[in-house]
Amino acid sequence: IEIMGNKAGWLTLYAGIAGGADIILLPELPYDIDRVCAAVERRAKNGSNFSIIAVAEGALNAEEARMKRKEWTAKRAEAGFGATATNRIATAIQKKTGFETRVCIPGHMQRGGTPCAYDRVLSTQFGSHAAKLVEAGRYGVTVAMVNGRVVENRLEDIAGKSRNIPESCDLLTVARRMGISLG
């Protein structure tokens, strides 16, 4: 399943863990298709007839990660429109293992859905704080939750910047401990 995350894999990491993915592929960690195939084959050998692979749309293999942007753009154009990361990975897995692969790309449908109770409470907290900022004449900020508190961030401090998953991220350790392959 392809999950939004062209430059940063936070959504894919969280969704992969929450959704029970067996393999999670992130833009921050170039994958090795042979390791991905080995993980799929290992699961099959252990009796599983499926593997769930959460793929960030910006996932790259080690070779692709070494390419300059211009080279990578040319390679994608040559591969054609349908050559998303997930399609490339699924095709490679099927060729190398012989296992049937299916691709699911929910796209913008990922942004919808019924909010859970936590989402409703969080959005109410954000809305309340944002209204307080407007009343105070404070503009050019966003609201966020940090360590259980609603805070504001100046747009100029965060706009146009990516926040990648650091190698030291606790969730990467959790995923590895759970036996999730990171490619």
**pLDDT tens digit string along 26-76?**
999 999 999 999 999 999 999 999 999 999 988 988 888 888 877 777 777
- Where are the domains positioned within the chain? 2-111+163-177, 117-158
Distances in Å between the alpha carbon of 73 and those of 55, 67, 77, 87?
Answer: 19, 9, 6, 16
**So what's the pLDDT on residue 106?**
80
Comparing 150 with 63, the larger pLDDT belongs to: 150
**So what's the pLDDT on residue 80?**
63
**So what's the pLDDT on residue 113?**
76
Q: Determine contact, residues 20/48, Cβ cutoff 8 Å.
A: no
- pLDDT value at 82 more than 80: no
Give the three-state DSSP class for 164: coil
What token pair was written down for 88?
């490339």
What value does the mean pLDDT take over residues 152-160?
A: 88
- pLDDT value at 178 more than 60: yes
Q: Which helix (H) or strand (E) holds 172?
A: helix 170-177
Task: Calculate what percentage of the chain has a pLDDT beyond 90.
Answer: 62
Q: Determine contact, residues 89/55, Cβ cutoff 8 Å.
A: yes
Fold of 2-111+163-177: Rossmann fold (3.40.50)
Comparing 16 with 114, the larger pLDDT belongs to: 16
